[in-house]
Structure 1
Amino acid sequence: MANSPAVLKGYLEFSGALAGGALSAATRERIALLVAEENGCDYCLSAHTYIGTNIAGLDRDETERNRHAESADPKAAAVLALAAALLRTRGGVADADLKAAHEAGLTDGEITEVVAGVALNVFTNYLNKAADTDIDWPVVRHHRH
């Protein structure tokens, strides 16, 4: 990102804005783990596993579940179900997906932040995969799907 000041600025501002949103740091890390797993981005998977467990308070079992759109927390599970639907349909979620998110207690604002979180993490996954970024975190590899 540092190769383009505009890209770096955009990333930092987008990420910073989401950090001040309704979704907790743990929930944002859960989304990042799912997206990295789905996209096979080992750099992001390594980074977000470390951040999730050492900063956001997730345990290892939870981070493993999150990679597969699952969570022990019902609201987080709803967030991840929506995020998985977004990823797998490239944004073309069904009305039933949105209804399920609402029924699980997600507000329209939180749903919007889930979409934004997925988009931001797809960007960082693609950039790190394209750049073949060296993994400078404890290495976590995606599962072969």
Structure 2
Amino acid sequence: MSRLPIIEPAHAQAPAADLLAAVQKALGVTPNMTKVMANNPAVLKGYLEFSGALAGGRLPAAVREGIALTVAQENACDYCLSAHTHIATTLAGLSPEQAAAARRAESADAGTRAALRLAAALVRTRGDLDDTDLKAAQEAGLGDAEVAEVIANVALNVFTNYFNKAAAVDIDWPEVSHLS
């Protein structure tokens, strides 16, 4: 059971109501995570704006979803594993096998694999990357812009992982549990 109230869109006050309506319009659903974030509209707005900005970046949706899966696995966030497994396999074009591989920071594509491994290293080191981690990503073809974007996607996903775990947000996606 969620530790913070789930704000149903029908009962939300402005500006949270407007933000939740935008989520519903964009996704066709209003996930529990956003309903819990609506306890503080600034939190929800910040999440939506950061997520929206990164959606317009260089990394394709499949890579962003792979990063989300890698980070959620590293942080043992079952809410985000559940949400991003669903999104990755229904919207971003990953097969169930590719989504499972992303959880292990693996991909058949060298560039994607480099991005996922960089994401895993960022989480494990709390951002204090070893030069070899960065060099490996660059040698695999990630330029400075892509490296910066991987870092930003990790930060976004660490935020949602911590938010969902701390608030114990009820999972409203087909449930996926972290690997031990």
Q: Partners in 2 of 1:143 and 1:28 — Cα distance?
A: 20
State the TM-score, normalizing by the size of structure 2: 0.79
Q: CA deviation at 1:72?
A: 1.2
Task: Output the aligned Cα RMSD.
Answer: 0.7
Residue 58 (structure 1) aligned to one of 94, 110, 128: 94
Shift of 1:129: 0.7
**Identity across aligned pairs (percent)?**
68
- Amino acid in structure 1 at the alignment position of 2:138: H
Opposite residue 137 of structure 2, the aligned amino acid is: A
2:83 alignment partner, one of 47, 57, 63 = 47
Match of 1:97 in 2: 133
| 1:36-82 CA-partner distances (Å, limit 9, x unpaired) | 11111111100000000000000011111100111111110000111
Which aligned segments of 4 or more residues in structure 1 are displaced greater than 6 angstroms?
none
Structure 2 residues without counterparts, runs of 5 or longer: 1-36
Quote the residue 1:21 is aligned against. Answer: 57
- What is the aligned counterpart of 1:81 among 117, 121, 124? 117
Q: How far did residue 88 of structure 1 move?
A: 0.8
Greater relative contact order (CA < 8 Å, ≥ 6 in sequence)? 1
What runs of 5+ residues in structure 1 fail to find an aligned partner?
none
SS of 2:94 mapped into structure 1 = coil
Q: For 1:5 and 1:48, how far apart are their aligned partners in 2?
A: 23
Task: Report how many aligned residue pairs link the two structures.
Answer: 144
Deviation at 1:131, TM superposition (A): 1.2
Structure number with greater Rg is: 2
Q: Secondary structure at 2:113's aligned position in 1? A: helix
Q: Distance in 2 between matches of 1:35 and 1:85?
A: 10
Give the Cα separation in 2 of the matches to 1:107 and 1:90. 21
- From 47, 50, 57, give the equivalent of 1:11: 47
Instruction: Give the TM-score normalised by structure 1.
Output: 0.97
